[in-house]
Structure 1
Amino acid sequence: MSLSFTSRALAYAALSAGVVLAFFVLREHWAHALGLAPYLLLLACPLMHFFHHGHRRAELAEAPPPSRLSTQVDQPFED
C-alpha cells in the first residue's frame, strides 16, 4: 500500500517525537527502567516461544513429506 507524502511525513514526525520522548523519559528514569529489565526478559521468553512455534507449524504444513528409503537392493555390475 502506497502512503501519500503527508501521511508519510506525519508518520516520520510521530516516530521522531516518540524517539525523543523515550530518550528523555529513560534519561530521567534509567534506574526504574533497568529494574524492569528482568521482568521484560521473562515476558519475552514465552512470547518468543509462542511466535516461533507458530511460524514453525506453518513451515511444516507446507513442506513435502520426507522421502522413504528405497527398498530396492542395488545389483552388482555384470561384465
Structure 2
Amino acid sequence: MIIDTHVHLDDERYRDDFDAMMERALKADVRAFVIPGAHPATLPRAVEICEHYPNVYFAVGVHPYDMEHMESVDFESY
C-alpha cells in the first residue's frame, strides 16, 4: 500500500479528470493522499476534495515562499 504524503490534488490541472486520475492512482495501489497546505486560498478546494474522498486528507499551512505576504491575509475569512 502506498500513501502519497505530498500531492497537490487541489491544483486546477487535476480538476477536469479528477475521478479518472484517482481511479488510476488506486489501481497503482496508492491508497491515501495528503494535500499539503501551501496557501490559505487553496484551502476551500482541499476541503471540498476531502469531503468527497474519504482517503484524502489535507494539512493546513503556508509555503515558506509565501510567508512575506501573509501579514496582509485575513485568515479569519478562511
**TM-score, with structure 2 as normaliser:** 0.24
> Which structure has greater strand proportion?
2
Structure number, greater radius of gyration = 1
**TM-score, with structure 1 as normaliser:** 0.24
